[in-house]
Structures are given as structure tokens and as C-alpha cells.
Amino acid sequence: MDTSLLNALPSLVIGLADLAAAFLFMYGLHRMASPVTASSGIFVAGVGMAVAVLSSFLVAFDVSSTAQPHLMVNIALALVALALGGGVAWWSGRTVAMTSMPQMVALYNGMGGGAAGAIAAVELFGGKAQGPTTLTVTLLGAVIGAVSLSGSLIAWAKLDGVINKPLRFKGQQIVNGLVLIATGAVGAAIVLAGVGLPVLALTQPQAITLFFACALALGVLMTLPIGGADMPVVISIFNAFTGLAVALEGFVLQNPALMIAGMVVGAAGMLLTLLMAKAMNRSVSNVVFTNFGEAAKHKQGKIKGELKPMQPGDAGIAMRYATSVIIVPGYGLAVAQGQGKLFEFVKLLQAGGVSVKFAVHPVAGRMPGQMDVLLAEAGVPYDMIFQLEDINDDFKTTDVALVIGANDVVNPAARTDKSSPIFGMPILDADQAKQVLVVKRGEGKGYAGIVNSLFYGDNCHMVYGDAQAVLVQMIEAVRGLGLPAAA
């Protein structure tokens, strides 16, 4: 056999593997567009990632590659790293609570940005990034990846309660701007030094270290002042950042799979960010550069009406005798882990001939799609779950709207109070149902820091208590009626 053909074989296999991985990424993402096929889509994309990882190992045996002499590949160390990372990911994925899912997503997203930044660091410190174009692209990937890493870690800390309050100080945006300018200036100096025009009294390694320090600080400073209400959008922004960083470093490494995967993730993350910002009636810049909810502290007037408590058993019986019920799940349902009992109660209502639907707001919970996943985990059929734009008109003709642990996403102030920080935000029109039942542990405010006028409405009753405990009492009350199930 021709020796040159044999030597070129690894390169050919690598190219085909990268092409296959890219196809699997895109096909998997396509299947994730529907709840029915999302599970298989995740599996397909996972296979694509496995192919991409195996392809990277083949590079070590590609003697035809010009990069081969510079690849100090330690196969054993790489396998150990894969085993440790895969083991931790499998264990954490199996054991994470639904309420902790946003924190895990933030951490894993940060790891992706950190990986892109690490690739850039290897290229920069090793002197492999040569020429102004390659240096510039490498530095762009480095700064975006570093910001995603440190920002995602702060987002995790906020979601997990490690950081309980936004950290804000006078002139904060000016400080952030100066750090951004410093990062760009050091990056420009590194590019100039790379083409023989040193402008800093620092060695190249020192300049690169300073560059990464500025980029990491920028991620922290950007995220610290942002409130908990905006964390879903922030996570989505950093997801887009991670994808973009991976795509840029894929260009530096001339790896098609990385470029395509990064562009797909970046585009999907940015699209999701824009959709979520629209669902909150806010721009992305408004999320990043303003203090959401502060205006409510001094502008909200006294709300007319009074809170009217109702016992869980009475609320359950009221729904059993209703013709139609729409359920609005919120983060409180996830905290109580009451999704299983909720669906058990729903099946009792359906057996009695009650029409039941679920209404999900795009930003309900602490991360995109959290309520959909929560309901799917309990076995709720996909055709019972409706998004805001598909179900809002149905509230007017619904007998009972059951709100469990949601707050701002059902607050009528978004339609009526121009001084409210959530004015103009699309909400679920639960207040327009004939009767509204709200399950809450207390009278606390939502993320926006305002009292919900829905709770004081003439047609609204409050059912106080932990969601799961309340649902258990509702189930017992309905079963206690001894009514025959519908045929």
C-alpha cells in the first residue's frame, strides 16, 4: 500500500468525523425544537459530541498534520480527565434536584466558557497564535470565554443563595467601562507585540496574564449588580457567549466541529435571550445595565381590597365542581417538589369530567423551560401544556385559575400600573378567570419586589401553605366526596 496514502488516512478520518459530528449537532438541535422529540435530540447531539471527542484523539496520530510536532499530547492524562469529568457530570445529573437545575446549568455553561478560554491560553502562552488575525480571534475567544466563566460563577452564587443581594455602588457602570477599555487595550498591545511593535513595558506572558485577569474581573463586575429576577436572561446571555467563544477558538484550531457547534450554541443562546427579554418587555441592555425592581420601592401605591384566605380542602372541592381549570405553575411548585402530587390531583379532576390545562410563562421559574421540564418530570402530557400566547384568551371563559408559586408573571399591574417596573410585560391573564386560587407559603413579594394586586381581587382567594402539603389536602378532600368518576 502507498505509504503516503496510509499517512493521510488519519487526516481523512478526522475530517469525516468532524463532518459527522457537525451534522449530528444540527440534527439534534432540530429535534430539540419539539417536546415530543427533544429527548432523542439530546441523545443525538450527545453522540455528536462523543464523535468530536474521539476525533480530537485521532489528531495525535495524524503524522500528516503540520501541527503534529507542536502537539504534546498525553493520551493517558486526557483519558483520566475524561473519566473524571464524565463521572462528575453523570453523578451530578442523576442527583441534582429540580430546584438546583438553574445552578447546575450556570456552572456547566461557565465550564464551557472556561474551556474556550483555556484553549486560548494554551495558544497564547505557547506562542502558537501567530499573525494579527489569528491573535485577534484568539484574544476575542479568550475574553468572551473568561467573561462567561466568571460571570456564570457569580450567577450560580446568586441562584444558590451564596450571594443574597445584588452588589451595587455609585459609578459602577463607569468602573465596568474602564475595565472593558483596559481589557481591550491590553489585548491590542498583545497583538502589536506579536507583529513586532511592543507598546507595553511587560513581557508577552505578563501581558497575557493581565489580559485574562481583566477579562475575568469584567465578568464578575458585570454580573454582581444584576438582580435575581434577571438571572434566567443572564444565564442565556452567558450561554450565547460560551458558544461564540467556542466558535472563535474552533477557527483558531481549524476545527470545523468546534466552529459549527459554537455557532449553533451561540445563535440559539442569543435567540433565547431575545425571546426572554421580549417576554419581560425589556431590552438586553436594560437587563444588564439597570437595577430591576428598585423603582417599586417608592412608587407602588396602596392596593384596594383585602386578602381572602381559603382552606385547601375547600379549594380542591371548588375545582372538582368546576367545568374548566387552568393551572399556572411557578417556582414555588419546584421548591415544594409538588409536581407529582399536582398531576395526581389533575387526574382526579379529569376523572370527574373537568377540563384541565397548564399555562406556562416564558420566564416562570429561574431558568428557561424550567416549568416545562418540571411538568414533564411528573408525567404531564405535552398536549396539556400551553405557552402564554396560546392560552391567554382562554382565561376569560375558565371557571378556576389555580396559581401555584407564581407571582410577577400573573400580576395585573403589568397591564394597568405605568409606574410599575413590570409595566408592559406580557403576563398570563389569570385574573380574568371567574375564580382565582393562589397557593403560596406566605404574602411575600415576587422578584420584582412589588405586591401582586391579583391577590386582592374580588375573585381571588389565597390558599396558604407549602404547595405539596396543600395539594395533598386537596386530593384528600376530592376523594372524600365519594363522587363517581366520569366514564
The greatest distance separating any two alpha carbons of the chain, rounded to the nearest whole angstrom, comes to 89
Residue 408 appears among annotated catalytic residues: yes
Q: Is 76 exposed, middle or buried (0-12, 13-18, 19+ CB in 10 A)?
A: exposed
Q: Which residue, chain included where needed, has cell 476575542?
A: 140
Lookup: cell for 202: 511587560
How far apart CA 169 and CA 184 sit, in angstroms, is: 24
Lookup: cell for 216: 475575568
Beta strands in 264-313 (DSSP E): none
Q: Hey, which residues does 356 pair with through a beta bridge?
A: 325
275-304: b or e for each residue (b if 16 or more CB lie within 10 Å)? ebbebbebebeebbebebbebbeeebeebe
SS3 322: coil
How far apart CA 431 and CA 421 sit, in angstroms, is: 19
Instruction: Report the half-sphere exposure of 475 (CA within 13 A, side-chain side).
Output: 16
Instruction: Report the half-sphere exposure of 97 (CA within 13 A, side-chain side).
Output: 11
Q: How far is CA 329 from CA 159, 346, 448, 462, in A?
A: 19, 13, 18, 15
Contact assessment for residue 228 and residue 214, using Cβ atoms and an 8 Å cutoff: no
Of the candidates 18, 408, 417, 429, the residue annotated as catalytic is: 408
| Chain centroid offset of residue 402 CA | 26
Residue closest to 391 by CA, chosen among 368, 415, 409, 376: 409
How far apart CA 361 and CA 401 sit, in angstroms, is: 14
Compute, in degrees rounded to 10, the torsion defined by CA atoms 408, 413, 415, 417.
-140
Lookup: cell for 91: 453523578
Q: Hey, which residues does 436 pair with through a beta bridge?
A: 401, 460
| Amino acid identity, position 369 | G
Q: Is 485 exposed, middle or buried (0-12, 13-18, 19+ CB in 10 A)?
A: exposed
Q: Hey, which residues does 328 pair with through a beta bridge?
A: 403
User: What residues are annotated to the active site?
Assistant: 408
